[in-house]
Amino acid sequence: MIKIDAHQHFWKFDPVRDSWITEDMDVIRRDFLPPDLMHILMHNRIEGCIAVQASQTEKENTFLLELAHSYPFIKGVVGWVDLQADDVEERLKHYSRHDKMIGFRHVLQGEPQRDLMLTPKFKKGISLLSKYGFTYDILIFPDQIDFSAQLVAEFPDQAFVIDHIAKPDIKNHEVAGWEKSIRSIAQHPNVHCKVSGMVTEANWYTWEEEDFKPYMDVIFDAFGIDRVMFGSDWPVCMVAGGYNRVVKMVRHYTEALSDTDKMKFWGGNAIKFYNLDI
């Protein structure tokens, strides 16, 4: 069974660019590079990972692609392009020449305009992704799920994946509103979901494995075993327990799955979705 961590980050810490890393996240206010992750993956018997953008610049793409070419365990890069730019197709054409560039995302969760993904310029950019074989990672909060459902419905041939199960309020055990919206977007077969980023939406210091069960129950039921994949969100997960603890929690939840379904969740689905060269 080939295991893939479908969501993690690398960066050279910059206090201005990385201002989202606040003082209470002091543990990750430093550089995180492939050698830091390599031994963690080996310890958890995970063969590869997907490096996802943490900064919305094309300079970030260059940085991640250089790392991916230097470290073979980085199987692909989810980068960033300005989907609203007039020259977006030219940029996509450029990145299509890089084997390790597999998809893109935009930090929609931080946009003042909550339905930015439904504007004509943004949708024009989305409409071009499949032409060049790129996936799209949807990074949103629960208030944006319904807008995103409208987006994915307009582009049934585009492969989408929701990051971090759309960040429900796990800390306050709020399930109902999120569940209704997530089940709605899951009805679209072109949408997958990363079981990732959950611990940072819980109480960082007191969470227990049972806190996540209601959310994972919904995700596995709504999307089905063929459209879910594991992601650590390392190093961000370090603010709320760390890599090994995240893997342990998810492994306990998936213990009841068949060996075939475990292979899908822990690697097979990510390999297929991102069309990884394994």
| Two tokens, residue 51 | 């490096």
Mean pLDDT over the full length of the chain: 97
- Mean pLDDT of the region 37-43: 97
What dihedral do alpha carbons 49, 52, 57, 58 form, nearest 10°? 40
Measure the CA–CA gap between 235 and 100, rounded to whole angstroms.
Answer: 21
Closest CA to 78 of 107, 104, 57, 48: 104
| Nearest alpha-carbon partner for 81 in 63, 69, 66, 95 | 95
Q: Sketch the domain layout of the chain as residue ranges.
A: 4-273
Neighbouring C-beta atoms of residue 15, cutoff 10 Å: 8
Count of CB atoms situated within 10 Å of the CB of 190: 16
Q: Considering only CA atoms, which of 28, 7, 168 is closest in space to residue 76?
A: 7
CA distance linking residue 72 with residue 37, whole number of Å: 13
Chain segment 224-253, per-residue pLDDT in tens: 999 999 999 999 999 999 999 999 999 999
- Whether the upstream peptide bond of residue 168 has omega within 30° of 0, thus cis, is no
227, two tokens: 């459209």
pTM: 0.97
> Is 1 a residue whose pLDDT tops 90?
no
Cα 237 to Cα 200: distance, rounded to the nearest angstrom:
6
Polymer length of the chain:
278
Pick the CATH number of 4-273 from 3.90.1150.10, 3.20.20.140, 3.40.920.10, 3.40.50.2000: 3.20.20.140
Q: In this predicted model, what pLDDT tens digit does every residue of 97-131 receive, in sequence order?
A: 999 999 999 999 999 999 999 999 999 999 999 99
Token pair 């610049």 is found at: 57
What is the pLDDT confidence band of residue 278, given thresholds at 50, 70 and 90?
confident
The residues, any chain, with a CB within 8 Å of residue 155's CB and separated by 6 or more, are: 123, 126, 127, 130, 190
Q: Compute CA 215 distance to the chain's CA centroid, rounded to the nearest angstrom.
A: 16
